[in-house]
Amino acid sequence: MMERNKAIFLDRDGVINHDPGDYTYALSEFHILPTVMDTLKRLQEEGFLLILITNQGGIAKGLYTHEVVNEIHDFFLNECANQGITISDIFYSPHHPDFGESLSRKPGSLMIERACAKHGIDPKSSWMIGDKQRDLIAGEGAGVRGILLPVNGDLSTLLPEILATNLNPTYS
């Protein structure tokens, strides 16, 4: 039987970086929250793959471009690498319901399902961390349990629950 990976799926705005309340329009507005790096490092040490799952509907609205999103993600990947943290993948949906429907946009689970298939992830050993119900609904749709963080909350406060469950997984 093939060994399956466990993962932490992370929403971006409000979980990884400060959510200003609307959109993060530019790299100059992307500010990583204080406990994120230490928490990601600890989760990686516990054997979790780290994967970003984010809606970027501002692209569909014409507020910013794929290039801006990629610039922000490249910056984040470099900041993580400087701390010895590997982000295994980033999935984002450029769609917005005002401009058409997409199965990839959260609360749809397609981004998480794609990540599970691509990286051999066991959904039952994984978590979706988000600051909105749609993040948790997306996780549930892929068989991944969710955990809600307040917008711009302290990511490290979730470690005890994740690590306790990691030692004794009972999710079904």
- Confirm whether 11 is a catalytic residue: yes
Are 9 and 45 contacting, i.e. CB atoms less than 8 angstroms apart?
no
- Answer positive or negative: Cα dihedral of 156, 161, 163, 166: negative
Among candidate residues 13, 19, 131, 135, the one labeled active-site is 13
Among candidate residues 11, 19, 131, 135, the one labeled active-site is 11
Are 11 and 131 contacting, i.e. CB atoms less than 8 angstroms apart?
yes
Catalogue the E-assigned strands of the chain: 6-10, 48-55, 89-93, 127-130, 145-148
DSSP annotation of 104 reads S
Task: Give which of 163, 169, 162 is closest to 125, Cα–Cα.
Answer: 169
- Confirm whether 22 is a catalytic residue: no
Q: Any idea which residues carry the catalytic annotation?
A: 11, 13
